[in-house]
Amino acid sequence: MTEQRPVDMHVHIVGTGAGGTGCWLRVKGWHWPLAAFMTRHIGLSRKAFSGDFDRLYVDRLLELVRSSSLEAAVILAHDRVYDEHGRKLEFGSFYVPNEYVLRLAEEHPEFIPAVSIHPGRGDALEELDRCIAGGAAMMKCLPNCHNIDCANPRYTKFWERMAEARLPLLAHTGGEHTVPVIRKEYSDPRILRRPLEIGVTVIAAHCATKSGLTDREYFHVFAAMLSEFPNLYGDTSAFNVPIRGRHIPECLKEPLLPRMLHGSDFPVPVFGHWAWLQHFVGWQEFRRCERINNVIEKDYQLKRAMGFPDAVFTRVWDLMRINKNRASRFRGCPEARGISN
């Protein structure tokens, strides 16, 4: 059997719409310095914002993945914000169309597409079927930022279709300060109970950890839910940012470790200082990782140094919906299971 290769299953696509991608980006106030810092951190100039940013961003991401230890990166679309009646709201800081992410994945074998669909959209089921047919491997949303009450009965058919198609849901949990929040209470991982009960495989992004000092702590709520739902997982995205990484020792033990998946949250910055100060990694490993200029590789190496085993970096292969034609593009992908559209 072919050895499974590592995957970064939480990588953001960002665009300004340059080149006709359909993306948009609305950065305001203190988020401008943060956006500029992130851009520099991944190896792009701030001047890229006034140029062909979308192409430059994708080219840089491809360069990073190709020169890393990873087989592929799951790239994330990002839907607009809607109310409970399916009306678009003028809220949110960026948009990445499903069509763009699906096309990038068709063009580049290093990319695996995760679409984003607000289940309250009037065309949500039609868009879901279109994306499934187009090769979507996952669906991503941020309930607290997208205004998604997963328990809304109107969304039941949407979750049922996802469960039927075995399309996993990657859902943000815990605090959030990079993207504007519209419903803070939806940061609670218990918002995901309905899709879990219906049978959707759910990945709680960030394991419901805090992003800011004043955020409510939901990590232990997530940890308790693992015993109730065998279809619930968590990812390590942004664990190399100080506050989110505080629960790493617990994630390296039962019952969490068998449910952990590797994600970087690119382009969120990667720092090893917190891991070293907390004795999650030793001095020599910290210094070795600090010399790595590739931020995707640096995040991967730091997490290996913390003690995350190989399975954490490859487990997502068994959860993603990858058809046989796409599976043949990956060296580390197990043979795709027969999934009906």
Amino acid, res. 245: G
Extents of the domains making up the chain: 7-327
Which residues, other chains included, contact 187 with Cβ-Cβ below 8 Å and sequence gap of 6+? 143, 144, 172, 173, 174, 175, 176, 181, 208, 215, 216, 218
pLDDT digits (tens, 9 = 90+) for 243-286: 888 999 999 999 999 999 999 999 999 999 989 999 999 999 99
Mean pLDDT over 12-27 rounds to 93
pLDDT digits (tens, 9 = 90+) for 154-169: 999 999 999 999 999 9
316 three-state secondary structure: helix
Closest of 131, 127, 81, 126 to residue 103, by C-alpha: 131
140 three-state secondary structure: strand
Mean pLDDT over 55-60 rounds to 96
pTM tops 0.85, yes or no: yes
pLDDT digits (tens, 9 = 90+) for 88-144: 998 888 999 999 999 999 999 999 999 999 999 999 999 999 999 999 999 999 999
For position 161, what pLDDT does the model report? 98
For position 337, what pLDDT does the model report? 44
For the chain, percent of residues with pLDDT exceeding 70? 94
Which CATH number is correct for 7-327, 3.20.20.140, 3.40.50.1100, 3.30.70.270, 3.30.70.1560? Answer: 3.20.20.140
